[in-house]
Chains A and B, each alone.
Chain A
Amino acid sequence: MSALQIRNLQHKYALTEVLSNINLDLAAGETLALVGPSGCGKSTLLHIIAGLLTPSEAVIKNDFRGTACMFQEPRLLPWKTAEDNITLGLKALHVPKQACRQQAQNIAKTLGLTADDLNKYPHELSGGMQSRIALGRALIIKPDLLLLDEPFSALDIGLKLELYRLLRQHITERGSSVLMITHDLMEAVRLADRIVMMIPEPGRLIGEFTLQQSHAERSETWIYQTTAKLMANDRIRIGFGLAEGSLNLTEHLHTQHSGCSI
């Protein structure tokens, strides 16, 4: 039973069709990665799911209750301290101030932020710290669905791995579903249960890969090998423009996920 069901989604900016015939399911507790080259409409699709855009045409059934989103940039409110930024979503849910503060301090500990950092304004913090705060702001409301719009793409590898670990820990504890978009296949292999490939002009889903290895058993070697296998896949090569050729799109038109397993 999927908690998010999208059928026949089309979207146009003026006369340009940016998304065409998108059918997508996301089950409760599942992590789905949408991969594709820049400009293929991944962000537009995510914004539609987040409710920031209204699609031109679609049937969307969304059973998730709390949704949080992390954007490409941290997007912190510059006039609020780190603590007030983290608790923004809680404040919107009318959680009392003292409880907000307590929860912010708890989450700050797991994110490696000190009490001093919590009193600082965003401009006083490094980019990495700002990303942690953005992650804290998303996780603190304990969302059922977490939408990630390439939030880690600008971070260094050490920080990326640390934030991946925090994210996985949260997903395991809470059983949240995650829909992440990325153009980094290795990030997708590291975090996702299922990878869906998207191509541009207009944005379409062209293939799906299920990763059956449990997250606990994913070693670095396995991640590298799986990424290499995926990189050798025709759909991915053609989709990213690494190889010439045309794709047979009829395979993905039905809604069940029957893609190749890895």
Chain B
Amino acid sequence: MNRLRNLLPNTLSYLWSGWGALASLLLFCAVWELVGEYYGDLILPGPLEVIGQLKLMFNSGIAGPELIISGRRTLYGLFLALAVGSLLGMLAGFSMTTSMLARPLITLLLGMPPIAWLVLAMLWFGLGDATPVFTVFIACLPIVFAGAMQGTRTLDNHLKAVAQVYRLPWHMRLTDIYLPHLASYLFPAWITALGTSWKVVVMAELLSTSDGVGAALAVSRAQLDTSTTLAWVVAVLGVLLATEYLLLEPIKRHLERWRVGVSQ
């Protein structure tokens, strides 16, 4: 009951905090418009024209299916990376030895350019769905893995002692001690992985597939159509912003409501 009572003010305060984000986005659009007017439509069409173009693409049924195809590939790769990365990262974090062994591998994987993975994936999987999915997976994996490992390693020893003294069974240690602590490390890692996944999927599609947003971008580039190119970019960024602020951020706030000043 108490929680329900808190839900409304928390939701309203979250929505209200959206004004700040909106102001910042509109400011960006204003600068974009300004630069666009200086260079002309061929080089940089303004935000209104790009949004008009995007609307046109949605109305004519071009944008929807391509976004769905790219979204599906992103989700497959991302979910795989989140599941495998979180699990393996946690397991690695439980032991000092595995953490030490894993650290240089993470640096190695994080440093490997996604384009290199893409070339390898094209050689291994050909020009199908598997190539972008694999590239997304392998690009996001080390980010999530590092977050999960770091979270597991940094759990306060005092709380571990509490779990031991009160003889918490393993599943309670996981759900009541480790996961709530881990969430504050995993969520930022998941959000970074989400951003990376869209970047990588568009790049992978541009080079390896005949459908999806990346492939559509390749076509618009060939036609020197700047406004369509920007419309695709805006569409991808819109999906990204919506996923982060309408899905992940509210979940994060809900899970971390115990933190001091989290609703500010």
A51 near B165: Cβ-Cβ < 8 Å: yes
- Measured between beta carbons, the chain B residues less than 8 angstroms from A51 are 164-165
**Is B225's beta carbon under 8 Å from chain A?**
no
**Is B195's beta carbon under 8 Å from chain A?**
no
B158 near A88: Cβ-Cβ < 8 Å: no
A75 near B158: Cβ-Cβ < 8 Å: yes
B159 near A75: Cβ-Cβ < 8 Å: yes
A92 contact from B161, B172, B257, B258, Cβ within 8 A: B172
- Chain B minimum-CB-distance residue to A119: B2
- Measured between beta carbons, the chain B residues less than 8 angstroms from A47 are 161
Q: Mark A47-69, 1 if CB is under 8 A from B, else 0.
A: 10011100000000000000111
**Is A13's beta carbon under 8 Å from chain B?**
no
Shortest Cβ gap from A179 to chain B (Å): 13
B164 near A52: Cβ-Cβ < 8 Å: yes
Q: Which of B164-182 contact A (CB under 8 A)?
A: 164-169, 172, 176-177, 180-181
Q: How far is the CA of A182 from the CA of B197 in the complex (A)?
A: 56
Interface pick from A29-37, A76-84, A104-112 = A76-84
B258 contact from A52, A69, A91, A121, Cβ within 8 A: A121
**Is A192's beta carbon under 8 Å from chain B?**
no
**Is B260's beta carbon under 8 Å from chain A?**
yes
- Measured between beta carbons, the chain B residues less than 8 angstroms from A137 are 166
B166 near A92: Cβ-Cβ < 8 Å: yes
Q: How far is the CA of A92 from the CA of B167 in the complex (A)?
A: 7
- Measured between beta carbons, the chain B residues less than 8 angstroms from A141 are 166
B165 near A80: Cβ-Cβ < 8 Å: no
B2 near A77: Cβ-Cβ < 8 Å: no
- Measured between beta carbons, the chain A residues less than 8 angstroms from B257 are 121
Most buried by A among B2, B161, B169: B161
**Is B239's beta carbon under 8 Å from chain A?**
no
Shortest Cβ gap from B173 to chain A (Å): 9
Task: Indicate whether A75 sits within 8 Å of B162 (C-beta atoms), given known contacts A88-B176, A92-B168, A119-B2.
Answer: yes
- Interface size, A (range): 20 to 34
- Measured between beta carbons, the chain B residues less than 8 angstroms from A52 are 161, 164-165
Q: How far is the CA of A119 from the CA of B180 in the complex (A)?
A: 18
**Is A234's beta carbon under 8 Å from chain B?**
no
Shortest Cβ gap from B220 to chain A (Å): 48
- Measured between beta carbons, the chain A residues less than 8 angstroms from B168 are 88, 92
- Chain A minimum-CB-distance residue to B156: A75
B165 near A88: Cβ-Cβ < 8 Å: no
Shortest Cβ gap from B262 to chain A (Å): 10
B165 near A77: Cβ-Cβ < 8 Å: no
Most buried by B among A69, A71, A75, A77: A77
**Is A89's beta carbon under 8 Å from chain B?**
yes
Task: Indicate whether A77 sits within 8 Å of B180 (C-beta atoms), given known contacts A92-B172, A123-B258.
Answer: yes
- Chain A minimum-CB-distance residue to B164: A52
- Measured between beta carbons, the chain B residues less than 8 angstroms from A91 are 172, 176
Q: How far is the CA of A75 from the CA of B166 in the complex (A)?
A: 12
B258 near A71: Cβ-Cβ < 8 Å: no
Q: Mark B1-30, 1 if CB is under 8 A from A, else 0.
A: 010000000000000000000000000000
Most buried by A among B162, B181, B260: B162
Q: How far is the CA of A50 from the CA of B160 in the complex (A)?
A: 13
A80 near B176: Cβ-Cβ < 8 Å: yes
Q: Mark B229-264, 1 if CB is under 8 A from A, else 0.
A: 000000000000000000000000000111110000
Q: How far is the CA of A67 from the CA of B164 in the complex (A)?
A: 11
Q: How far is the CA of A4 from the CA of B150 in the complex (A)?
A: 40
B166 near A79: Cβ-Cβ < 8 Å: no
- Chain A minimum-CB-distance residue to B168: A92
- Measured between beta carbons, the chain B residues less than 8 angstroms from A79 are 180-181, 256, 258
Q: How far is the CA of A73 from the CA of B180 in the complex (A)?
A: 20
- Chain B minimum-CB-distance residue to A120: B2
- Chain B minimum-CB-distance residue to A47: B161
- Measured between beta carbons, the chain A residues less than 8 angstroms from B256 are 79
Of the A-B pairs whose beta carbons lie under 8 Å apart in the complex, a sample of 6, sorted by A's number, is A47-B161, A52-B164, A75-B158, A75-B162, A80-B176, A122-B258
- Which of B's residues lie within 8 Å of A, judged by CB? 2, 158-159, 161-162, 164-169, 172, 176-177, 180-181, 256-260
**Assuming A50-B165, A89-B166, what are 6 further A-B pairs, CB within 8 angstroms?**
A47-B161, A52-B161, A88-B162, A91-B176, A92-B172, A123-B260
